Amino acid sequence: MSSAYRLATFSADVTCPPGHPLMSGLRPPASAIDDTLQAHGFVLLGAGAPIVLVAVDWCEIRNQSYARWCEVLAKAAGTVPERVMLCSVHQHDAPVSDLGVEAILATAGLGGATLDTAFQETAIRSVASAIEAGLQNLRPVTHVGVGRAQVTRVASNRRVTMPDGDVSFLRGSHSGGDPVFGAAPEGMIDPWLRLISFWDGSDPVMALHAYSTHPMSHYGQGAVSADFVGLARSRRQADEPDVLQTYVSGCSGDTTVGKFNDGSPENRAVLAGRLYDAMADAWRTTERHPLGPVDFRAAPLELEFRNSEKYTDEAMRGVLLDEGADVRERVLAAMGLNSRSSKEPHITLPCLDLGPALMVLFPAESFVAYQIMAQNMRPDALVMSIAYGECWPGYIPTDDAFREGFDDHWLWIAPGAEQRIRSALGQVLAGSEHPGAQ
């Protein structure tokens, strides 16, 4: 069957070397490699300028680093940076990348505290070379596959009502021995793993899986790892050696495995098995649809920086330059300073519309309610929400979470994001056949 669309798939190793900072230097540096970090993705041709999606097994890519990745990968794919949908998977035993932060830290004698910039450039070039190689082996794509399956006993929400009635957002990626967090209900989650696949007739070419949870089991000891989501992805790759398996994290700023994870090394394989089962189920139930027409849309998304006294330029610069302050606090101050002053890249909310399935790229640690919002706007299609695009905002809570007192040192935005995201989603999800999306 002839097709107007062609697809290149690619993958590259982006594992950081021993000694490299992990999670902006807020965790012990890399001392061992449990398993490699990968960048996987595709280039879709036939819908105007090429469209690139790439998922990187890093914690975050932010500000000037995000712009650099998009610039180089766009050039490799023969497109423009605005059509590169770049996301991090958000494992914590992995780098956080922000070139502007490194420049600021260098002025305070802390250069190299968060990122080896030469290593990052090598990693970017490796992914660009993989894209160029993939474009030499284009496959026609005639159909898009759509599948989903429920994931059991993996995700739970950070929000827990404590025995005294107070609301806590402290249920992290493992229970930490607190029986309250283990006993509390799952809370608001999206239980569905979503799967979008590309096909050449009856032959599958690639599969993209998405699920909403922080992708950490045991972590923070210096062992680099793609964690349980990487293990599940690898198992699916072994099932289908000729079909590239890619995984992206959904909107999961407030979803973790804390209810079902005691933090033991053994539990990593348990969580991987549960996610793998859903991946396999979604594959078995996949339905194929003719591909076309394909559309790419994007809406601007302006988020306001935090406006409290602690987050003024003067306050953050004071912490940065205080040689007696904890290095982690100085790093966080540099991150805030860079994000507050950066004008590029502006955040956009891009959407790849494949007809029966859509992919929407959200910034940073968007809460799961935004993913549910997106799906509710288009009940006629499978909406795959992908988070951890441009990551400078940190957590992106809902209005309700702000009202209930959500706060964190990884939160760099002011209240008011919810209506702006809703408006941007209305623009990109509507499309020509859905002008009334709200």
**Residue-wise burial string across 376-389, b where 16 or more C-beta atoms lie within 10 A, e elsewhere:** ebbeebbbbbbbbb
Instruction: Look at residue 433 in the predicted model and tell me its pLDDT.
Output: 52
Reported in sequence order, the residue ranges of 96-169 that DSSP labels E, i.e. its strands, are: 96-97, 139-141, 143-150, 156-157, 160-161, 167-168
User: CA–CA separation, 319 vs 224, rounded Å?
Assistant: 29
Reported in sequence order, the residue ranges of 113-250 that DSSP labels E, i.e. its strands, are: 139-141, 143-150, 156-157, 160-161, 167-168, 192-200, 203-211, 223-224, 244-249
Q: Which residue has the higher pLDDT, 430 or 14?
A: 14
Q: Are 187 and 174 in contact (CB under 8 A)?
A: no
| Predicted confidence (pLDDT) per residue in 283-301, tens digit | 999 999 999 899 999 999 9
Check whether 67 has a pLDDT greater than 60: yes
* Closest C-alpha to 248, from 19, 9, 27, 38: 38
| Predicted confidence (pLDDT) per residue in 89-116, tens digit | 999 999 999 999 999 999 999 999 999 9
| Predicted confidence (pLDDT) per residue in 316-331, tens digit | 999 999 999 999 999 9
- Indicate if the alpha-carbon torsion angle 167, 170, 172, 178 is positive or negative: negative
The number of residues in the chain equals 438
Q: Which two tokens stand for residue 241?
A: 């050696």
Q: Which two tokens stand for residue 437?
A: 């999306």
Q: Is 78 left (phi over 0), alpha (psi -120 to 50) or beta?
A: left
Instruction: Look at residue 406 in the predicted model and tell me its pLDDT.
Output: 98
Instruction: Look at residue 177 in the predicted model and tell me its pLDDT.
Output: 67
| Predicted confidence (pLDDT) per residue in 400-429, tens digit | 999 999 999 999 999 999 999 999 999 999
Q: Which two tokens stand for residue 304?
A: 């306001």
Q: Which two tokens stand for residue 140?
A: 């026609």
CA dist 217 to 131, 179, 274, Å?
Answer: 31, 17, 13
In this prediction, residue 431 has a pLDDT band, given cuts at 50, 70 and 90, of low
Q: What angle do CA 290, 2, 204 make, to 5 degrees?
A: 55
Environment class of 183 (CB within 10 Å of its CB; exposed 0-12, middle 13-18, buried 19+): exposed
Instruction: Look at residue 438 in the predicted model and tell me its pLDDT.
Output: 28
Instruction: Look at residue 344 in the predicted model and tell me its pLDDT.
Output: 57
Instruction: Look at residue 437 in the predicted model and tell me its pLDDT.
Output: 33
Instruction: Look at residue 436 in the predicted model and tell me its pLDDT.
Output: 34
In this prediction, residue 4 has a pLDDT band, given cuts at 50, 70 and 90, of very high
| Predicted confidence (pLDDT) per residue in 135-162, tens digit | 999 999 999 999 999 999 999 999 999 9
* Closest C-alpha to 245, from 197, 312, 315, 187: 197
253 — phi, psi (to 5°)?
-60, -30
Instruction: Look at residue 3 in the predicted model and tell me its pLDDT.
Output: 78
User: Pairing state of beta strands 38-45 and 51-56?
Assistant: antiparallel
Instruction: Look at residue 435 in the predicted model and tell me its pLDDT.
Output: 37
In this prediction, residue 432 has a pLDDT band, given cuts at 50, 70 and 90, of very low
- Mean pLDDT, the chain, rounded, equals 95
Instruction: Look at residue 175 in the predicted model and tell me its pLDDT.
Output: 72
The predicted model scores a pTM of 0.96
| Predicted confidence (pLDDT) per residue in 156-179, tens digit | 999 999 999 999 999 999 876 688
Contacts of 113 (CB under 8 A, 6+ apart): 21, 24, 25, 102, 105, 327, 331
